[in-house]
Structure formats: C-alpha cells, structure tokens
Chain A
C-alpha cells in the first residue's frame, strides 16, 4: 500500500535536502503502551490484521501463550509473553506489545538507499512505501529494535504503519481502538508523556521501584512508548537498554560519500585537464621505434655482462623521452648475449 497522504513530510529516505522548509512542525502524536494494564488478550493483533487487511498465517504451539513465534511481513503486531522468576521466588508474567516504535530518529530511514521508500511525517509516524522499496533490507540492519520484516515472495519489507491512514483521518490506530483495558493510549506526545509519568509515580507507590517510561534518547525518543513496571528487567521484556541509531556508521558513510563524489567528479575534471595539457602519445614511426627497441636490447645485453660494475640502480636521471639513456635500466640477471631475453613470460 502506498501512502500518498495529505500529511506533511518531515523526511524521506535517500532524498537530499528533504526538509519541510519554513513549515513549523505539527503536533507529534504518540502511543503509550501501559504494560501494567495489558492483559495479553491479543485484541490489538487481530485489529491490526483486520484493519490492514493482512492475511492470517498458520501458527503452531511452541509452548507459549504467544500467537506467533515472531513478527513477520504479514504480522506487524505481536504480544510477546515471557515468564520469569523474581528474586523472592515469585513468578512474573511479562507481556509486551511488540511492533514498530516509530523512532524520532529512525535508523531504518537513514539506512535506506531507495528514495521515498521510507517516509517520516511531521507527526512522527515512520512508514514504508512498498512501491518504492527495492528489497535491499538495509532498514533491517538499521533498526535497533529488529522490527522490519522482509517478505521472500514480494521481496519487500513491511512493518506497522501506526495506522497512518486512520491517523490522517483523525482516528486512533486500530490497536488502540480495540484494546479492552485501555492499555494502549493515543494522543499528542506531550500528553502521552504526562500520562506515562503519572502512571510511573503510581506504580512506584505500589512498590514497583524500577517503574519507568521507555522513551530512549539514543533513537531521538519514540512515538510508541512503554510504561514498564519492572524497569530493571528491560532485557526480559525484549527491550534494549540503550538502543542507538548506528550514528557513527551513518556519519562515516556520509563522509565517504561526500569524498567519493568530490573525488570522482574531481578525477574526471583532472583527467580532462591532463588530456588538454599532455595530449595523446602516438608511437614514433615504425623504423625509429624498432631501432630504439634494438638499441635498448643491445644495451640490456651489454649491461648484463659486467653486471654490477656500473652503479646499477637509481642513477636514472628521470630524464625523459624516447632517447633517454636507459642507464641501469636493464634487468640485472640476463646473461644470454646477443638478442637479450626479456624477463617476461610470453603471455
């Protein structure tokens, strides 16, 4: 599905000078998933499939309450279940809605070489345009959350759109609408941050000392945040502690790109100038060229005999052209006299 929507665009992949210019940024939207309120019903998964017309996939029991083992090109939202043992011996069930987090500084977009295949709207939504995707999967390695999924059949990459079509029509995303406990909130990013902060306070009051808002700065913040009750167990939730856009890599690559375009254009220009200055180098008439070759041959042969007698190397006065005395130029080890054998293997 293409996304030529009426939304203002903040940046596009592989598009030089993509900026909104004089337009001020619009209100950024965000989801916040309150893990404390989530009961793992998977209504959001179903709603996601329904709204986005995604085909069902055959599932199998792999010893978990999870519906699918992993996200896929046709499954953009997945409740991940994990049971852990706490210090006191109690058990805790960690359930996390896993889908695109819509980074403010998206690694996928920075990695993408296909112009416009990844779009970030000013409201914060990061979306893939499969009509422009070339299937290189650089976005997959650019994503710190392992979200985009490549489809072997269409050779394109898919992920959650944050229901960009619904949002652009002032509707909440399908997952938000379907959530029976109100665990998925949706609104402006500032309001969502307020809600999350208030919820963290409440959780702390209830004894969840490590409760936190998951909105890491390494990716510029998220447009889908979490309220995480057990903030000390981030890795058990499957959340990286300090996700980063591979910034060093992207800046190194962009420096290399600039150097590259400068030196390629510069090289072509220099070659052109060199041509104008030096022109073409035709061989002399055949008689001259052959005579010179024979002379070099005799020289090489005579040098081969007294071997090291004359200072062999380095005396080359660099002096020029055809007649330049080939002093010390001969191969050092060529004892065969009259027609000197060149060292080269014949072809």
Chain B
C-alpha cells in the first residue's frame, strides 16, 4: 500500500533500518538511553554502597571515594531524563478503558504474551512501568538529597529515614528494571529495535499494538 509497507523483515520480526513503522523519535531514544545508562551506573554503584559484598563493584568507578562522588551526579543526570519523560510522555500514558481490560488479562499476558485486546501505542503494563519508574525515580532523587552531603543539612533522624527509603525505592526500581529488560529483549523479539533504530516491523506493531498500528498505517496510506 505504501512505502512503509514495503519494508523487509529480519528473522525475529525486527524491522530493517528504514523500513517498518517509526515508534520512537531520535530524541525519545536518546533520552531513553540517557536514563538507562545513568540508571545502570546508579544501580551498580548503589549495590556497592548498600551491600558490603558488592563493594568490589566500586572498582568500576575508580574506587570508593570517586564512586561516592559520582553517584549523586549520576542521580542528577538521571532525574533530568526522568523529568523530560514526565513532561513529554505523561499524556500518552493516561490509563483508558482498554487498559482496565488489559489489567484483568494480566495473567494471560504473562503466560502467553498476548491479550488479544485492541491495544493502542502503549499497553497498561507499559504505562504502569512508566509511572512506576517516574515516581520512584523522583522518590530516589528526593530521598537522595539528604544523603548527598553535610552541606545539605538534615538531622540524623531525617538521614536515617532517607537512607531507608532510598534503599527501599532502589530495590523496587531494580525489580522493575529486571522485568522491563526481560520483556523488551528476551520475551518480545523486535522490541529492542524500537529503541535502537526507532522502528518496529509491521507485524510487531499489528500484533502488539493493533489500534496504534491501524492509525499509523492509515496515516501512511493517506500520505500524511
């Protein structure tokens, strides 16, 4: 029907460069990887700081003291990315009627990887992870502030509470991160290219996000 349709497929349903449907713009991908890399740096140094047995990871950052210096700045960089996501993506992450259906079929989704619903650009799980990560990211930033240094003040009691919450939010975030990475790399082939090339195959789009697919398809067809 259109130039888009002419795209060829790789074995796993990944779109070849320039084919398929555009899912994320360059800026969206850039910010995603900005957040991803700063998060990984934060997570690794966070494990080193929070778990004596993982302290050896501090070597990756040039030793304990350098790591302790870098960690909060990674946090600032991460938070900037999170804020961008909050501003730019919040609108497309509002929950809708289909999303309620999706939540009811969570079990089906987990076991078969498919709900059979007329899902839009994002399903409820993706939206849920978005809000989970944005909110926890901000919690981590706020609870990290009193731990940054003496110059930020704060009584000992406040710091203890902050340290506890920071640790708890960190663990929750790591859990979400594992699921996010698993789903987007291992479980659903073709998803990774959405964040690398920015494009997905038509089959991927029609299968996982049919409503969004039709919209994009129609748009492409009418030459918009």
What 1/0 flags go to A251-280 for Cβ under 8 Å of B? 011001101110110011001001100101
Contact across chains for B156 and A330 when beta carbons are under 8 A apart: no
Chain B residues 18 to 58 lying within 8 A of chain A, measured CB to CB, are: 24-25, 28, 49-53, 55, 58
- Residues in B with CB closer than 8 Å to A150 are 149-150
CA distance A274 to B118 in the complex (A): 26
- Interface positions of B from 51 to 75, Cβ below 8 Å from A: 51-53, 55, 58, 64-65, 67-69
Let me know if B150 and A331 touch, CB within 8 A: no
- For B98, give its contact among A278, A289, A329 (CB under 8 Å): A329
Contact of A14 among B52, B117, B156, B186 (CB under 8 A): B52
Instruction: Report the bound CA distance from A173 to B201 in whole Å.
Output: 76
For the complex, give the distance between the alpha carbons of A323 and B217 in Å: 21
Instruction: Judge whether A231 is part of the interface by a CB distance below 8 angstroms.
Output: no
Q: Report yes or no: A280 in contact with B164, Cβ–Cβ below 8 A.
A: no
State A257–B190 Cα separation when bound (angstroms): 36
Q: Which of A257, A280, A322 contacts B51 (CB 8 A)?
A: A257
A: residues with CB less than 8 A from B are 14-16, 113-115, 132-138, 140-142, 150, 155-156, 246, 249, 252-253, 256-257, 259-261, 263-264, 267-268, 271, 274-275, 278, 280-286, 289-290, 292-294, 296-297, 299-300, 313-314, 316, 318-326, 328-333, 339-347
A-B contact pairs, 26 of them (CB 8 A): A134-B64, A135-B69, A136-B68, A138-B147, A256-B164, A271-B182, A275-B186, A282-B190, A284-B207, A286-B201, A286-B202, A289-B204, A290-B213, A290-B217, A296-B116, A296-B211, A313-B97, A323-B116, A331-B98, A331-B118, A340-B214, A341-B215, A344-B92, A344-B211, A344-B215, A347-B24
B interface residue numbers (CB < 8 A to A): 9, 12-13, 24-25, 28, 49-53, 55, 58, 64-65, 67-69, 91-92, 96-98, 100-101, 104-105, 107-108, 111-118, 120-122, 147, 149-150, 156-157, 159-161, 163-164, 167-168, 171, 174-175, 178-179, 182, 186-190, 201-204, 206-208, 210-219
With A135-B65, A138-B159, A342-B214 given, can you name 19 additional A-B contacts, CB distance below 8 Å?
Answer: A14-B55, A136-B68, A141-B159, A156-B65, A256-B164, A257-B50, A260-B171, A275-B182, A281-B114, A281-B188, A290-B203, A293-B206, A293-B207, A322-B114, A325-B116, A343-B96, A344-B211, A345-B91, A345-B121
